[in-house]
Amino acid sequence: MNLSIVGSGYVGTTIAACFADLGHDVTAIDIDETVVSKLNDGVAPIHEPGLADLVKTHAGTSLRATTDYSAVRETDVTFLALTTPSNPDGSIDLSIMKAGTRSLGDALADKDDYHLVVVKSTVTPGTTGDVIRPLLEEASGKVAGEDFGVAMNPEFLREGSAVTDFLNPDKLVFGAEAARDYDLLEALYQPLIDRTDAPVVKTGLREAEMIKYANNAFLAAKISLINELGNICKAYDVDAYEVADAIGLDERIGPHFLRSGVGWGGSCFPKDVAALIAAARDTGYEPQLLQAAVDVNDRQPGRMLSLLDDHVDVSGKRVAVLGLAFKPGTDDIRESRAIPTIEGLLDRGATVVAYDPVATDNMRARFPDIEYASSAAAALAGAHGALVVTDWDEFAALDLEFDAMETPVVIDGRRIVSTREGITYEGLTW
Ligand code: UDX
C-alpha cells in the first residue's frame, strides 16, 4: 500500500521505516528540511537501535521524505505522528497536531478517491472524533465517513527498543468507525499479523485513545505501587526484590515492571499520566490513585537523598551521581530521576560530580555548573557518597572503584551495584 506519515520524530520515523520494511511504499512528511534531507540521504534523524539500517536500506526506494503535504494525494492512508506536548497544567497541547491536520486537510481537498487518516499520536479521548475529524472536514471541504475516514492506532513503543517493539507487538489496537477503515488498517498491518500472530483489538476511536493512556497509567502506577511496598519493606528490613519475585509468580500480577527504586521518568509515563489526570479533572472526576502514583514517584529521589543524609553530611562534600539517563540504553534525560536528585544535592550544598556513559551532554545543558566525569571510576574517586540513579550494566561491574572514595557510602536506587565488605551500602527498597 501507499502510505504517508506526517511527523518524523521518534514515533513517525520508526513507523515510517518499519512500514517500508513490511513492504509498503512510504512517504514521510515533515516541515523540517534537515530531517527530510537526512531521510532522503538514508540517514536516520534520531537514534534508535536498528533504525539506521532500516532507513539506509529503504531510503530512495520504498521510503522517501518531503516537506510538501500534497504528496499525501499519492497515498491511501496518512498517519498523524505529530508531537503532543504538555501544557503547564499537564493537559496536552494540540496546537502542533491541529496545524498538521489543517495542512493535511488542505492537501486532501484535491484528492478524488477515499483516504484514511490515522491518528498515531497520543491524544485524550474524544480528540480524533471531535477535533481532528471536524478540522479535516473544514480544511478539505470533504465529508467524513464518505470521502475520508478517521481512525486511531496508538503506539506502545519503548525508547531504545522501538523498532523491535514495532515488529513484535503484544497487540495491535485499531480504533475506527467503519468496516472499510478497519479493513484498510488490517491490510496495512497484515504482513506483521502474518508474521507475529499479534492479536488485533478492533474498537472505537475513544476506546483506542484511552487504551494508550490506560496502558501507560497502569504501568506507571504498577511501579509506584511496588515502590510504595518497597518503602515499607525497607522500614521493616525486608528485601523488596525477594517480595517482588514471589508476587510476580502470581499470574494475575506478572513478573514485569516490579523493579522498585528511584522511580519512573522519560517522555511518556510522566506526560501521559499528567494528561490523564488533567483530562479526568476536566470532567469533574478526581483521580486519586493516579495522583498518588505521581506523588510516590516524586518522593523517591528525596528518599534516596535522606538515606545518604543518614550516613554523610554532604554540605561542601563531593558526591557522585551515577547515571543521568531516565533508563539505560538511551541518552534521554527527560523527567530523569537524576534531575531532582542533583537538585537535592545542590540544595544541600554538595559538590556534584555526575557520570553517564551517553547522557552527559544532555544533562550539561540542564546543569551546566556541576562537574561531569568521564568514567564511573573518576566520579567515585574522592567522593564522600554515591547515588546510583540509572541501571546501566557497567555499574554492576564496579568494585575496586569504591575503594577510591573518601567515604564509600553507596545508595543504590536501582539494585544494580554488587556490594561487599568495606562499602556502606543502602538499597532504596531493600
Ligand atoms: C514507556 C512504555 O513502556 C511504552 O510502552 C510507551 O509507548 C512509552 O513509555 P519508555 O518511556 O521508553 O516506554 O520506558 P520504559 O522502559 O517503559 O521505562 C519507563 C520508566 O520506568 C524508566 O524510568 C524505568 O527506569 C522505570 N521502571 C521500569 C522502573 O522504575 N521499574 C520497572 O520495573 C520498570
Segment 17-39 shows an average pLDDT of 98
Run of H or E residues at 36:
helix 33-40
pLDDT bin (cut points 50, 70, 90) of residue 47 is: confident
CA separation for the pair 2, 277 (Å, rounded): 38
Alpha-carbon gap, residue 412 to 428, rounded angstroms = 6
Residue 398 has pLDDT above 90, yes or no: yes
Residues 6+ apart with CB under 8 A from 112: none
Percent of the chain with pLDDT over 70: 100
Query: What is the distance, to the nearest Å, from the Cα of residue 233 to the centroid of all Cα atoms in its chain?
Result: 29
- What is the arithmetic mean of pLDDT over 247-267? 97
Residue nearest to atom 19 of ligand 1 (CA): 264
Is the beta carbon of 156 within 6 A of some atom in ligand 1? yes
CA of 110 to the centre of ligand 1 (A): 42
Closest of 266, 342, 356, 259 to residue 308, by C-alpha: 342
Q: Is the dihedral of CA 232, 235, 236, 241 positive or negative?
A: positive
Q: Which of 59, 157, 268, 410 is catalytic?
A: 268
Report in angstroms the alpha-carbon separations of 8 from 5, 30, 186, 291, 348: 8, 6, 23, 32, 42
d(CA 245, CA 144): 50
pLDDT of residue 335: 97
Q: Which residues fall within 8 angstroms of residue 379, CB to CB, at 6 or more apart?
A: 320, 321, 322, 353, 354, 355, 373, 386
- The C-alpha atoms of residue 270 and residue 260 are separated, in whole angstroms, by 17
Is 327 a pocket residue for ligand 1 (Cβ < 6 Å)? Answer: yes
Helix, strand, or coil here: 134?
helix
Cα torsion 155, 13, 111, 136 to 10°: value is: 50
381-401: average pLDDT = 97
Q: What is the model's pLDDT at position 118? A: 98
> Rounded to whole angstroms, how far apart are CA atoms 327 and 391?
7
What's the pLDDT score for residue 345? 98
CA distance 233 to 235: 5
**pLDDT, tens only, 270-329:** 999 999 999 999 999 999 999 999 999 999 999 999 999 999 999 999 999 999 999 999
Cβ atoms within 10 A of the Cβ of 255, count?
12
- Cell of residue 81, nine digits: 505522528
Å from CA of 266 to ligand 1 middle: 7
Least-confidence region, from 40-49, 102-111, 258-267: 40-49
Provide the terminal-to-terminal Cα distance of the chain, rounded to the nearest Å.
53
Kindly state if the Cβ of 258 falls inside 6 Å of ligand 1.
yes
List, for residues 160-171, the tens digit of each pLDDT value: 999 999 999 999
* Longest CA–CA separation in the chain, Å: 75
For 110-154, what is each residue's pLDDT tens digit? 999 999 999 999 999 999 999 999 999 999 999 999 999 999 999
Q: Where are the alpha helices (DSSP H) in 197-287?
A: 205-235, 240-247, 269-282
| Closest C-alpha among 21, 264, 57, 290 to residue 159 | 264
Nearest residue (CA) to ligand 1, atom 10: 158
Nearest CA to ligand 1 atom 1: 158
Inter-residue contact 122 to 213 (CB < 8 Å): yes
Reading the block at residue 356, the C-alpha cell is: 553517564
Contact 300, 287 (CB under 8 A): no
What's the gap in Å between 71 CA and the centre of ligand 1? Answer: 35
Taking a C-beta distance cutoff of 8 angstroms, is the pair 264, 297 a contact? yes
Residue 251 has pLDDT above 90, yes or no: yes
Nearest to 156 by CA among 164, 165, 148, 147: 165
pLDDT at 60: 96
268 is annotated as an active-site residue: yes
Number of residues in the chain? 430
**CA 214 from centroid of its chain's CA atoms:** 14
pLDDT at res. 46: 87
